[in-house]
Amino acid sequence: MVNRTSRIERLLAVKSMATEQVIALLRMKNLLSTFMTCPHCNLNMRERFRGDVIDKVSWVCFNARCPKPLTTLSIRNGSFFAKFRLSLADVWTVILMWCENESVCNTSRNFGICRPTIKKIYEELRSIVAIQQSNDPVCLGGPGIVCQIDESLFSHKQKYHRGRATREPVWVFGIVDTSFKFAKGYMEIVSDRSANTLLPIINRVCRPGTVIYSDEWAAYRQIQERLGFSHETVNHSLHFVDPLTGVHTQNIESYWARQKQKIKAMKGVRRSQLPALLAEFVWKDNAREMALLYLIGIMYIIRLNKSYNIHINI
């Protein structure tokens, strides 16, 4: 396995590149357009050097019959990079750091980029993967494959009974596929833990033939009858692992610990940000080392379609 530090250093060689080299790199990855049509005459525009713009080059329409000749567009037009005023190298650096799970503080400290801008880019990336996830839902399990399910409380805890208490608990329902070495999973915020809320999620996420392992929470009692999945339980008041059947939910417990550790490292998050953050965690866990490659694919499709109607299989 490639050392993480050396991998980041190799990826961040872009910081020392000239602007034209960065543009060439991003075009090679299909993140910037190689041609542009004028919005007024629909003829191809040409690239021209512009010393007064951050990228030093712009698209210009030289068609004399154009209703608005010399129309100028940014080299970033229609791309993810058009949303930000940072240099292309800096935006690319922030994207790489997001894929590597670097915090806003570390990214700002290491590269001298202001925190609010990094936060804005991180939030935009989370929005992209959240929409991608809604358009291309996670599917887990399959014939004979064990998926473990559980609910967990995600909320701020008062230290020494001081500070603001949350208005109401935030429950998150999760499912992990144990057929992978590091269990792939899915989670979403739920309004309650009733069967009417949880069973439709299980039915939507788990493929036919999946074997469900859970604790003995009452909402799970109808899994086999209503959904047709094979269902085994463990009584946690007596055992962590059922001594007769070997049924346990340790994979999902480990999954919760991993996700909560990420939130703890962020010093907590706003309640309104939690859905997008959970979508990010799910997407990155399932993409793993391929996160950057998948993200590039999503950005490319967005640029082509000029919309978020995206479909990338993970």
Superfamily (CATH) of domain 146-289: Ribonuclease H-like superfamily/Ribonuclease H (3.30.420.10)
When pLDDT is averaged across residues 257-272 and rounded to a whole number, the result is 82
Q: What element of type H or E holds 49? A: strand 46-49
With 60 as the cut, is the pLDDT of residue 105 above it?
Answer: yes
119 vs 125: CA distance, rounded Å: 10
Q: Tell me, what's the pLDDT at 249?
A: 93
pTM: 0.83
Contact 61, 69 (CB under 8 A): yes
Confidence grade of residue 11 (pLDDT, cut at 50, 70, 90)? low
Whether the per-residue pLDDT at 15 is higher than 80: the answer is no
Quick one: average pLDDT of 159-186?
75
Cβ-contact 178, 145 below 8 angstroms: yes
Q: In this predicted structure, what is the pLDDT of residue 197?
A: 96
Going 112 to 262 to 80 to 189, the CA torsion angle's sign is negative
pLDDT at 237: 83
Mean pLDDT of the chain: 86
- Kindly tell me if the per-residue pLDDT of 307 is higher than 70: no
How does residue 168 score in pLDDT terms, banded at 50, 70 and 90?
Answer: confident
Rounded to an integer, what distance in angstroms lies between the CA atom of residue 128 and that of residue 95? 12
Q: CB within 8 A of 46, min separation 6: which ones?
A: 59, 60, 61, 62
What's the rounded mean pLDDT across residues 216-236?
A: 94
| CA atoms of 184 and 145, how far apart (whole Å) | 12
Indicate the DSSP class of residue 241.
B
Joined together, the tokens standing for residue 98 give 């997001």
Mean pLDDT of 53-59: 92
pLDDT mean over 34-44: 94
Mean pLDDT of 124-147: 89
- pLDDT of residue 2 exceeding 60, the answer is no
